[in-house]
Structure formats: structure tokens, C-alpha cells
Amino acid sequence: MVRISNYGLLSLLALCLVSSCTSSDKTTYKVDWLSDNTAVISIDKPTKYIVLPVEENASETKVCLLGEETGEVDMDIRLARNKVDYCVPFELPQGKDVTLRISNIDKECITWSEISFSDTFNIDNVEPFRPVYHFTPSYGWMNDPNGMVYKDGEYHLFYQYNPYGSMWGNMHWGHTVSRDLVNWEQQPVALARDTMGHIFSGSSVVDKNNTAGFGEGAIVAFYTSASDKNGQIQCLAYSTDNGRTFTKYQNNPILTPFDGLRDFRDPKVFWYEPQQKWVMIVSADKEMRFYSSPNLKDWTYMSSFGEGYGIQPNQFECPDFFELPVDGNPDKKKWVMIVNVNPGCMFGGSATEYFVGDFDGTKFTCDTPKDVTKWMDWGKDHYATVTFSNTGDRVIAMPWMSNWQYANVVPTKQFRSAQGLPRELSLYSEDGHIYMASTPVEELSTLRNGTSNKLEPFKVDGKHDAGELIDGNKGTYELNVSINPLNAKKAGFTLKNSKGENVKIYLDLADKKLVMDRVNSGLVDFGEKSAPHAKENHDNRKTNAINYVNDFALATWGKLPTDKKFDFRIFVDKCSVEIFLNGGKVAMTNLVFPTEPYTQWEFFGEGGTFEVEAAEVYGI
């Protein structure tokens, strides 16, 4: 069962495997060398695509479509030198002859014998680790979700996207749409890299009252344009056809840092009803800055927050800001600031923290001292988390499901990265503090395919083999388990396959922790010696190489709530395990790469007996 609709795509959304590349009889081309490493390709009667071979460990070349009215933009593509890992399509204008300039590549490279032309591509899934029910692009690299907005029955998910390879680069806004947060239909690229720079992360709003003058109900998108020349500056684009096409604002940028700050990005915009104004929160190095506007175009600085707060040292990124009732009480509300930090994760790399407090329309005041850190998710693969706008009382978030320590080298090639499941956020009080819970949206229950396996209650003193998880298991299912610890010091279970690969999920009652151990989960040492690795900042995400094997092969843990019993809801997909404990009071998101699905499970404990009061597996 394929839940993600990735087929029948438009524009660049296609994958070409080398074996499926086809040339067109009508297209002819010639190559003229301007220097030893720069060539111009003149193409007569072009097909829809020129098919470019990629070698991931190669250095980047620059490919530029010449003579374009929108400007000439170099795209960074790792064209094959010695071998071809896969191909990517580069879309060509139709109805006229085309000229491409390719720089930083020698005449002897294998690229020149492997280039081809085609009007169609094979985009069938060939990846064993491609998720079934998490969104992934049909090919290429994806990271941060951004611009998420709900309008006219559709959830729009935009995301950081590289259509020219499965590593970070050439930042565009990809686009996919869903009516139920479960089934996603991929759309053409929404915003492409341009002469102002990469299209970094941001947000979107529905301008119901036409404050910007683009039309009543226009979707207005805010993004960071990033380049060495211009730095990081905030820009605007708008759509009057429900997000299908966007027009970039002619007077961009709309906001630049007043102090020349280098790291100034990821604008989150929302309507502040009490003062009838728009508010923007922007990450500014190690803090957040607030701006206000009456019309989405002209912005005035108001205040800043965050320097010295939370985990240190860190880089603030991808902010979000919203109001929620505490314990469901509409008369008691608090504001929540989501801050994605890199580095800063307690297990290394990137992670998401949050702050709870009050907002007066100008300034945010946090309820806790600077040294208090509240984690939104206790896993290693939960980052760039932001929420949909225009969803009424529901606050729905989605994370990018990876970590900057190894995101560029996980063992996939056709695509890299998936977005995490959508989660509904709420605030609850415990021990005199206010915390945020993340629980899977109710729509995800429709994933269940009708097959299930329900265990009768039992007690565990040592080990209990629970056998097969579910008939016909292909590695995608939902687990619901209720555990009463009784007098046990540890209580949990292992998901495993016939090769001995396994994931351990358990309660450490002595240390009051929820633990997930993926040390023996399958492939864990990919890229150990020489694969390209992303440094932990925006500017050097493509070329560094280190030995990072222990960055992946580890256990993560989260602080247990004060509850006496524990209800697990766990979603397992081809390459991920997402745990939600006691209504999302503890969430934990981790990637796994088993060489065959986990089909068996076994309960285990230490130091006493525990009771499994309920256990059911639902097929997906």
C-alpha cells in the first residue's frame, strides 16, 4: 500500500535511473570548450529534460541556463567524474534553442558520455528504506519543512529541496498538498533558487483581509534569500491560485538585519489579533528578534529574546510562536516559542527545544530561568519543527526527520530525508511547571489497514517472547502498549528481525527515563571513513568528512513523567521509529536502517515484575 502520491508529477519532480535514460532522435547538441574546465552546450530542438549523471563524492560543478529573462543562476551539481550513482533531470525551456554553461569539470570526465535527453523519466521507487506513510520527495534532497499553511481544505507542506542531487544544496521550496495529513500529492517546485540566492526556510500566511494588496485570501510566503553576496535577507512571494504558483515580490528584500548580522533567517509570521498587526519572529544568531507590520511588506523592530537561554552553546534556527491553553483551560493560555538548535542536541547534532511564557504584542517573557531546557522531542532525528498556520484552535507541527551530523550520508540515494508525522501540540502542568505534549494527529488512525494482532494481558519476570508482530509484516505498523511497572526496575520490549538486528524500547524506572537503543538496529556505520558530511552550520553543509559512526549508533533517553502507568503509541516505518508516551508527554523520533523488517518482539525486564495490561499491533 502506497500512501504517498508521488506519481504523475509535473516540472522537475522525476527520477531517472541510469538504466532508464533515453535519448531523443530530434535533439542535437554541440559542446564548445571556453577553457580547460568550462564548456558551453548548444542544444537544438531540446527535449523537456537534459539528463545529468551524478557522482555523490565528486566536487560540485556549476550548471547555468543562459539567456533567461529571470536571470542566469548557477546550480551546484556533482556531475560524475569516474562513476554514475544516479541521474537527475534538468528542465529545459521549450520552443527555442537552449544554451547551457557547465563549469569546473574536465573533458575526460565520464559525464560527457553519459549525458542524454528525454521527455519522460522513470520515477518508480527503488529504495528499500523509502517510507510508506511519511512524506518524501520522489527524488532529491529534502530538509526543513517550511511555509506550512492550511487553506480551503488543503494542507500545504513546503520544504527545503535540492532537485539536483540527494545532498544539501540548491535550496528551493518543494511543495506537496494533503487533504487529510496522511496522503500527500507532490506538486511542482514552488520557489526556485534565483539570482538573489538560495531559498532558505520560512513561513506562509493567508492574508484574509488583503492587508498586503495581493488579493483577498492570497497565500503570502516569507523566506530567507541567502547568498555570499547579499547575506541572509528576508523576502516575500505570494500566490493567488491556492499555492500552485508564486510571484516573488518585486521590491524584495522586505527585511535586512540592522546590524549586518550574518545568521539572520527563517522568518515566522503570524497575525496578532489584540493589536491588529502582523508579527514576524526571525532567528538572529543565538537569539530571536520580533518585528511588526501592518501590511506584510514594511517591518519595524520590536524586541529580542533568547541570548543565553536553553541549551548552550547553540545556533537558533527555524522559530515558531503560538498560543495554547494550559490543561485545556481556554481561560488560561500561554505563548510557546519553538527554537530549533544546531548544535545542541543532548545526544549530538540538531534538536528542538521550546520556551513557555507571555507575550504582550511587543516582547516575550519566559517563565523559566535561562538555564532551563525543555525538549520537544527526546530523539536524535527531530529538527526544524514548525507548525501549520490558519488551522484555527489546532496547533499542528511537523519535524524534519534527520540530524545534521549524518543527514547527507544516510544509506539512501534516490532521495534523502523524510518529514516526521504531524503532531498536535498541547500544554499541561506537572510539578508546578508547564510542559508541551506532542501527540500524533487523530487523522493518522486512518493508516490502519484492518489487520491487527492483540495480545492478552500478561506479566513479565525476566523475558517473554511475544512472537510475530503481525501477519504479512513488511516493516510498517503501529504499536499500542500499556505497561504497569509494578516493582520492576526496567520494563520494555525489543523489536527484532532474523538477522539479530533490533531496537530496544524500555522504561528505566530507577533513573526515570524512557530509552530507545538503536546500537544494533541495522546499518549504523554508513559513511564512516570518507563520505561527505555536513558541518553543524548553514554555510558548510556539503564537504566536510569525519568519522561519525558513534553519532548514529547510540541510545537516546527522555525524562519520564510522574505517571504511575505508561501507554506507548509507536509508529514504525521503513526507516523510522516514532514513540509517543502517555499522550505525547514524552516524544522520541529516531531513524533506523534494518536490512530486513523487524518482524518479532520480545518483552524484557530487570529487578522485578511488570505487567503488560494491553498490547496491540495495527498493520499499515
Q: Is 367 a catalytic residue?
A: no
**Is the Cβ–Cβ distance between 316 and 352 less than 8 Å?**
no
Contacts of 612 (CB under 8 A, 6+ apart): 455, 457, 458, 459, 460, 464, 481, 482, 483, 603
397 CB-near residues (< 8 Å, 6+ apart): 320, 338, 385, 386, 387, 388, 422, 423, 424, 425, 438
The residues, any chain, with a CB within 8 Å of residue 469's CB and separated by 6 or more, are: 453, 477, 495, 598, 599, 600, 601, 617
User: Following DSSP, what letter does each residue of 15-57 receive, concatenated?
Assistant: -B-GGG----SS-EEEEEEEETTEEEEEEES--SEEEEEE-TT
Cis amide bond preceding 313, omega within 30: yes
d(CA 468, CA 476): 14
Cis check: omega of the bond before 440, within 30 degrees of 0 = no
CB distance 285 to 262 below 8 Å: yes
Q: How far apart are CA 469 and CA 72, in angstroms?
A: 55
CA–CA separation, 85 and 166 (whole Å) = 10
3-state SS assignment for residue 183: coil
Whether 402 contacts 384, CB under 8 Å:
no
The CA distance from 210 to 203, in Å, is 17
Active-site pick, 74, 76, 144, 517 = 144
Sheet with 74-77, strands from edge to edge, namely 28-35, 38-44, 98-103, 61-65, 74-77
Cβ proximity of 291 and 257 under 8 Å: no
Name the DSSP letter for residue 5: E
Residue with cell 556549476: 62
Q: If we measure between CA atoms, which residue out of 593, 590, 180 comes closest to residue 399?
A: 590
- Parallel, antiparallel or unpaired: strands 477-484 and 610-619: antiparallel
Class of residue 67 by CB neighbours under 10 A (exposed 0-12, middle 13-18, buried 19+): exposed
Percentages (nearest 5) of helix, strand, coil residues in the chain: 5, 50, 50
What's the 3-state SS for 237-250? EEECCCCCCCEECC
In terms of C-beta density within 10 A (0-12 exposed, 13-18 middle, 19 or more buried), how is residue 268 classed? buried
Grid cell digits, residue 296:
506584510
Cβ neighbours of residue 280 closer than 8 Å, sequence gap 6 or more: 222, 234, 255, 267, 268, 269, 290, 291, 292, 293, 299
Please compute Rg for the chain using Cα positions: 25
Q: What is the distance between the alpha carbons of residues 492 and 421, in angstroms, rounded to a whole number?
A: 23
Active-site positions read 144
